[in-house]
Every structure is written in structure tokens, then in C-alpha cells.
Structure 1
Amino acid sequence: MSDEDGSAISRLLAESRAGLDRVEPAELEAVRAAGALVVDTRPIEQRQRDGELPGAVVIDRNVLEWRLDPTSPHRLEIADDPSRRVVLVCNEGYSSSLAAHTLQRLGLVNATDLRGGFQAWRGLGNSQG
């Protein structure tokens, strides 16, 4: 996929990323160790094919906002602090950027994503859980 093909989705992606402090794959473990909530939004098929992301909470993309919105009655217990850093991880870092922007709009001011997604993290030679 191209990030700059002139399409409406490419513009939306660029706008979304402009407000994110994106995490580099090599920084992910340190960010998690510092207290960030790392959320793997990949579908089960990708997780089965490529492996799990150690230390990540798995939340399906279709319920992400309901599980992390601090005001939602359907939120996870770990989602009670809107200032906590949340790092979303998708397969290649596209849908996670859009989702992180949405979480920011819901009040999770430190929501962001992993640049390049799971594939970039794995490309560094990291092993799956």
C-alpha cells in the first residue's frame, strides 16, 4: 500500500498520523516496560499465521473503541486511565494509525501506534510468543 497515492484514505491516514507520537519497532519493549498498554488488533488468522505479540493485550478491531473508551460500560478494567499510553499494533501499521486517532478523539490522549505494525517488529528478528 502506498501512503501517498492522493486517495481520500491516504489523506485521512496522513491526518491521523500527524497527531500521533508513533512508536518505532525497536522501542516497543521499552515503551511497554514503561507502562504503556500494547494492544494487538490483528485478526485471529494473522495471529495464528505469524504468532502472538508478547506482552500485548488482544482486542479485536471491531470492538476496540468500546473496550478502551474510559467512559464505556463495556471497557476493560485496564482502560480506566485516559492518560495511559496505548500503543496499537496491526499487521503493517495502517489500520492502527486510524484506530489510534479515533481513540484520541474518545479521550485517550496518549493513544498511538507501532510504525510498520507487527511485520516491522518481526522484521527486527523478534520472536513471537
Structure 2
Amino acid sequence: MQPLKTSAAQLVAAARARIEEIETPDLIAMVDDPDVVIVDLRDPRERQRTGYIPGAFHAPRGMIEFWVDPESPYHKDVFAQEGKKYVFHCASGWRSALTVATLQDMGFAAAHLKDGFSAWEKHGGPVARDGDAA
């Protein structure tokens, strides 16, 4: 295999240099803010295994550009809300950094949870699991 021109770590570092990163305690403080939409990019199996942020919208990474684009047949209305702050997250902040950089390139304003869901749990952020009583 030929060496890559750019490593995954370099892509993440470049993305992080140009996007808004939200620290975990700051997002925990915003979790009940109706003007904040938290978007979980993780695979469904990750969510089942580790839980998820209550109220987070699940948007698997592979579809996000299409779900955000209002001209796409796959567009989701959740991404067309005026006046909302969108904060994306994954497990460790790598996928969400790349996602937010891509969305920024598309003209969609968003931020990401800097250290991901693993830091969310460590900081005592609320976690829901399928089957939790409502």
C-alpha cells in the first residue's frame, strides 16, 4: 500500500482547528436548553452498548450530509429549525469533528462535543438506555 497523503489524525486536527468545539461541562449545562439540538453520530450498536444523551437526535454518520441538505430527498426537518444551535457528537470527538467541518463547508452552522460521549459519561452527564422507564 502506498503511504497516504494525509492521515486520519491529520484530517481530524485540521477540522478541529477550524470548527467550534464544546467542552463537556458546557454541553452538560446546555442539555435541557430547547434551543440546542444534540446530534449523535454513533452507530446504533454503540448507542445500544453505551447509552445515549437523553433527547439527542440520532443521525448515523453515513447519512448526515444528505439529512442536512434541504434539497436532498433524504432531508430531515430537524435540521431546518431556525435559531437552533446544533452540537454533534460521537464517541471520542473524531467523527464529529470531521462531520462538523464538512457541514461547515456546506454552509450549515454547527459545533461538536470536543471529547465525545466517553467524556460525557466521565463528567456525569445524563445517559439514557433503551428500555429505561419514561
C-alpha separation between the residues in 2 aligned to 1:75 and 1:39?
15
Taking structure 2 as the reference length, the TM-score comes to: 0.81
Structure 2 match to 1:4: none
C-alpha separation between the residues in 2 aligned to 1:103 and 1:82?
16
Structure 2 match to 1:58: 58
Q: Does the residue aligned with 2:16 lie in a helix, a strand or coil? A: helix
List gaps (5 residues or longer) in structure 1: 1-6
Deviations 1:59-114 (A, max 9, x none): 11111111112343321112125874221110111111001100111111x21210
For CA contacts below 8 A with separation 6 or more, give which structure has more relative contact order: 2
RMSD across aligned positions (CA): 1.9
Given that 1:37 and 1:86 are in contact with CA atoms closer than 8 Å, whether structure 2 keeps it comes out as yes
User: Which has the higher Rg, Structure 1 or Structure 2?
Assistant: 2
Letter aligned with residue 9 of structure 1: A
C-alpha separation between the residues in 1 aligned to 2:92 and 2:104?
20
Number of equivalent positions: 122
Given that 1:69 and 1:107 are in contact with CA atoms closer than 8 Å, whether structure 2 keeps it comes out as no
Say which is worse superposed, 11-20 or 99-108, in terms of deviation.
11-20
% identical aligned pairs? 32
